[in-house]
Amino acid sequence: MSTLRLHYAPDNASLIIRLALEELRLPYTTCLVDRARTAQKAPAYLALNPTGLIPVLETPQGAIFETGAILLWLADAHPAQTAAQGLFPAPGDAPRGAALKWLFFVANTLHPALRMQFYPHLYVGQDSAAQSQFRQINSANIARHLALLDAAAAQATPMGSGPFAGQNPSLIDLYLAPLLRWCALYPQGETGWFALSDTPHLHAMAERLEHRRSTHAAALAEGLGPQPFTRPALATRPEGSAV
């Protein structure tokens, strides 16, 4: 029986964790967090994650929240699978520092910037003009973040000696690909600033990831379509609701 339980909503940050679980080929179960009913704010969920955000991964060591923390826990708790897949350098390995800095850059800088883009009212209030100006400034910041990541991805080699993997995905790739998807989709009608072709190394990474078994499994489970990262369409949401 699986000891890992992923609390998820379709096409949410839990997608990143699902991809990692699939890459590691770990047995896990899922528990839908129905956002249509604000289940992420219910007492039972807040007992697992007091921030009321998705995802949570229940583990033998307790419930873990924060996407970056979950990814790092998975890598370090399953070193044999992580090494076999080349997902992340082990403690003590020379590339570990570079991998950590980019993982935390994605988790602490890029991902929060996307949240600001999707939910500007949480940061500047309900005034539509203020929201529009905020999104304009924020989208320029996101574009700069992506340019930095694209330059870092250019350092990858087929053997994965850079901070990003080569032919096999890294945890950073698994984190980035869904974020690229959401840049293209959300907020609907407000994505003209983004073109995946502006970051060709990230584009190539996303394209490679679409051929992975992990992506096929996640896309099937969450209704993401055949090219969820390079030609994204709104999720069909076969399970639950992400709105």
Strand partners, 8: 32
* Residue 2 located in a structural domain: no
**Distance between CA 167 and CA 181 in Å, rounded?**
20
* Interstrand relation of 5-8 and 29-32 (parallel, antiparallel or unpaired): parallel
Query: Looking at residue 172, which CATH number applies to its domain?
Result: 1.20.1050.10
* Residue 24 located in a structural domain: no
Q: Is the dihedral of CA 19, 118, 36, 185 positive or negative?
A: negative
Cβ–Cβ under 8 Å, residues 64 and 79: no
pTM here? Answer: 0.94
Domain count, the chain: 1
Q: Tell how far CA 56 is from the center of its chain.
A: 13
| SS3 of residue 146 by DSSP | helix
Considering just the CA atoms, what is the radius of gyration of the chain in Å?
17
* Interstrand relation of 5-8 and 56-59 (parallel, antiparallel or unpaired): antiparallel
* Residue 132 located in a structural domain: yes
pLDDT truncated to tens, each residue of the chain (243 aa)? 568 999 999 999 999 999 999 999 999 999 999 988 999 999 999 999 999 999 999 999 999 999 999 999 999 999 999 998 889 999 999 889 989 999 999 999 999 999 999 999 999 999 999 999 999 999 999 999 999 999 998 886 554 444 565 668 999 999 999 999 999 999 999 999 999 999 999 999 999 999 999 999 999 999 999 999 999 999 986 554 443
* Residue 201 located in a structural domain: yes
Cβ–Cβ under 8 Å, residues 105 and 50: no
Contacts of 204 (CB under 8 A, 6+ apart): none
Distance in Å from the first CA to the final CA of the chain: 31
Domain boundaries, position 181: 96-212
